[in-house]
Chains A and B, each alone.
Chain A
Amino acid sequence: MTASDREDPVSTATVLVCDHVRSAIGSAGMTAVLPSDVCFTPAGELCQRPDAIADASVPAGRPMGVVIGICGAGAGDREYAMHARRAGLDPFGVQVISLGDSPVDGRRAARKLRVAAARATAFHGSRPANSKTVFAGMDGLVSRRALFTLPPVRYIATPTVDRFLCAAGDGCDFCIRACPHDALAVDGDNVVVDRERCNSCGICIAACPERAFEFPGNSAGEIEAATGAYLAGGNETDSPVIDFVCQNISGIGPGDNAGRVSVACAGMIPASALLGAVAGGAGAVSLRPCGDRCTNGGGDLAGQRVDYCRSLLNVVGDDPGRIVLNTDGSTTAPATTDASVERIARSRKESGQDAVPKLFGAESTARAVVAIADSTAIGPVALEHESSPLGLVSVDRDSCTACGTCVVACPAGALRAEESDGRWLLRFDPSLCVACDECTKVCPEIEQGAITMRRVTDLAALREGSRVLIESDMIRCRRCGEPIASERVLSRLASMLGDEVSTGWMRELCVDCRALSG
């Protein structure tokens, strides 16, 4: 079969299963649970023969997520990747899902495949720069001949940055600071990834407010799609538990109710994803780092974030037990309170939220916090926490000169300057502030306490939204009309110089016009 006669304009993902899985689920059962744009294809002895991928009719020619549902352990990821490549598919879009030994539990298998299919529809292909080579070890093979033999090669995905989305040109460097392996740097207006250093942890994905990273297999969109699919199936089981699990951990998750979402490293799950899953209707959410062997510091990050989320749930009057850190490999699902799930479901319906929750990116934390708080109908509470991903900035009206230096420094766009009716306004949006502290570092009046940032999640501020911190008259050039400076800056200068005369003329002409008039 050639690429052209396989063209199937409607499907966005394909699910291939071995015959044993098919007979356990039944074709009718499968098409019933899969989205209509996903094609379901039986592929014979797929569990034994990975080359069966090539015989199955998978539409080729564009990025296509493929789910391989097999009984038993299958033939190994490397083999499936190789046969996917031969069939014209992108191996980073292939998920091999082992559904247990034959006879397979059909109901459970269908549920897993449905979620994997949702994740597959969010796969958008990879670029050559997303591949990193890994040679299999030569354990035991120390003959001279072995040196001349090509060792088995595997590829793991490393992130790349979409240069149209990256905001490094505006001073954003959150990913660079977050990367535990020093693999990111700014090149021109973009962040670039050093593949040799990158350890494929995805911690940068959690840090990026612009969702600019492409991380095939573990992109923000794919993780959201898988989570959303479990949450959408919530009526099947009363309280879906979302179980974010480091991919280094194999084996079945806590309980049959749990929705296992495999991620590159626990450190790539931000607080916004934990809270977002709760806001999206999860009865409980657990995060499982791989433990001491994690070389990315994923366990510590996970611990801090879960601690923050639990404190937050407590403060807004929800049950803190809904978000847990699972470090002992326990297989019991965290307890969920059906009442809170119902509450969330109701408020979700009322606010018309869509099925796929936004777990990553700017504002995702704020949105989740407000949704949870609205469901408990809590008043204006606030949580001060060292791991709060949100900050709250305030300015002192006496010492702030409205110079705007902090606006230029803010990489998140949380501080903005505006002009209205000849007045200069400093605006702050608490849902965008990521508590980076850049604004206080650059403030020339910091000694006077002009600006303060606290790591606090403040519900009243989040509900109120963007607000004006300070305003000032804008003094304009008498000749060309261009703004010279704010009234406050000029007054401050005058008091510093102690000389009304020399600053008086500064209020008249801008620098350019002063140069012109000699």
Chain B
Amino acid sequence: MIPGVEESAAPRPMMAELARLRQAAYRLLACSFLFPEPDLIQESADAARSLRDGESWAAEFAFYGSWREFAEVLSNTDPSQVTDLRDEHMALFGADSARSSIPLTETGYLEPGSLESGQIVASVRQHYASAGLAPRTTTAEPFDHLSVELEFISYLCGKEVDAWDSGELKDARIAMGRQRRFIEKHPSKWAPMVAAGIIHRDGLYARAAAAAEALLTHDIDFLAAARTHLKHAQLARGGAPD
């Protein structure tokens, strides 16, 4: 190892910065699986452009490759493509997201046939409620829709950002624990199946599904490792892990 290369001049990013990156990534992924609207496309593409060219340290993470390909495709999307995107969305996921060949709801994979919101919906709602979110009944998407689940993780990442920013280590750990448990119990159980159905294709949805799978799969393991790491670091400082 050459001194000065490995630990280069740039200081290490803060935990808050990674949480911010993940918050934005989950949010963009959540938007990508919604039925396309011109202003949503515009906003997402703008956000994707600034993220894509953003943090140089992001390449340190295993999800970077898939994330970068997704951000690239999204950056080059504009509202004029709304008709094509709608056609593709319909063709892939269908009008009734629970009944299509590639459903976008968890129920569609893990409780197929039961169109009645069963145990899965009850369970995701419980996760939302315990994080202080009152489930709205007016949303267009069901509670176990991929977009809603991803948006929820983005929300939890936001909580983590706030905690780091205000120096509340304990709150940060709680937010990370919530993310890990939710990802493990819900999206990681079925998002890879969505990806398996379309990953070999071209276009926004295939790249979004690949990026979602990469990020979720990475984060379960990453958050578990981070928990152990923080515990050790706190012990090393002589403090009890809270």
Residues of A within 8 A of B (CB): 48, 50, 72-76, 78-79, 82-83, 85-86, 88, 90-91, 127-129, 131-135, 138, 141-142, 144, 146-153, 155, 195-196
Residue B185 at the chain A interface, CB threshold 8 Å? no
B232 in contact with A138 (CB, 8 Å): yes
A128 in contact with B233 (CB, 8 Å): no
A73 in contact with B217 (CB, 8 Å): no
Residue from the list B59, B66, B230 in contact with A128, Cβ < 8 A: B66
Knowing A138-B233, A147-B237, A149-B12, the reply to whether A82 touches B60 (Cβ < 8 A) is yes
9 of the cross-chain contacts (CB-CB < 8 Å) are A76-B1, A82-B59, A83-B59, A86-B59, A129-B217, A131-B221, A135-B225, A138-B232, A150-B17
Residues in chain B near residue A72, CB distance under 8 A: 2
Knowing A86-B59, A148-B15, the reply to whether A128 touches B213 (Cβ < 8 A) is yes
Residues in chain A near residue B232, CB distance under 8 A: 138
Residue from the list A75, A76, A147, A155 in contact with B62, Cβ < 8 A: A155
Residues in chain A near residue B222, CB distance under 8 A: 133, 153
A150 in contact with B5 (CB, 8 Å): no
CB-CB nearest in chain A for B220: A195
Residues of B within 8 A of A (CB): 1-2, 5-6, 12-18, 57, 59-66, 68, 164, 167, 169, 213-214, 216-218, 220-222, 224-226, 228-230, 232-234, 236-238
CA distance A259 to B214 in the complex (A): 36
Give min CB distance, B216 to chain A, whole Å.
Answer: 8
Residues in chain B near residue A91, CB distance under 8 A: 62
B5 in contact with A50 (CB, 8 Å): yes
Residues in chain A near residue B228, CB distance under 8 A: 135
A149 in contact with B15 (CB, 8 Å): yes
CA distance A429 to B93 in the complex (A): 49
CA distance A50 to B6 in the complex (A): 10
B64 in contact with A85 (CB, 8 Å): yes
Residues in chain B near residue A48, CB distance under 8 A: 2, 5
A148 in contact with B14 (CB, 8 Å): yes
Give min CB distance, B62 to chain A, whole Å.
Answer: 4
Give min CB distance, A99 to chain B, whole Å.
Answer: 16
Knowing A128-B63, A128-B214, A142-B236, the reply to whether A150 touches B18 (Cβ < 8 A) is yes
B65 in contact with A88 (CB, 8 Å): yes
Give min CB distance, A146 to chain B, whole Å.
Answer: 7
CB-CB nearest in chain A for B63: A128
Residue from the list A127, A131, A146, A196 in contact with B233, Cβ < 8 A: A146
Give min CB distance, B83 to chain A, whole Å.
Answer: 25
Residues in chain A near residue B224, CB distance under 8 A: 196
Knowing A82-B60, A147-B169, the reply to whether A152 touches B218 (Cβ < 8 A) is no
Knowing A75-B6, A85-B59, A149-B14, the reply to whether A132 touches B221 (Cβ < 8 A) is yes
Knowing A50-B5, A152-B12, the reply to whether A196 touches B60 (Cβ < 8 A) is no
Residue from the list A50, A76, A85, A195 in contact with B221, Cβ < 8 A: A195
B14 in contact with A76 (CB, 8 Å): no
A148 in contact with B164 (CB, 8 Å): yes
Give min CB distance, A486 to chain B, whole Å.
Answer: 42
A90 in contact with B221 (CB, 8 Å): no
Knowing A75-B2, A76-B1, A148-B164, the reply to whether A133 touches B236 (Cβ < 8 A) is no
Residues in chain B near residue A152, CB distance under 8 A: 12, 60
Most chain-A CB neighbours within 10 Å: which of B6, B63, B169, B221? B221
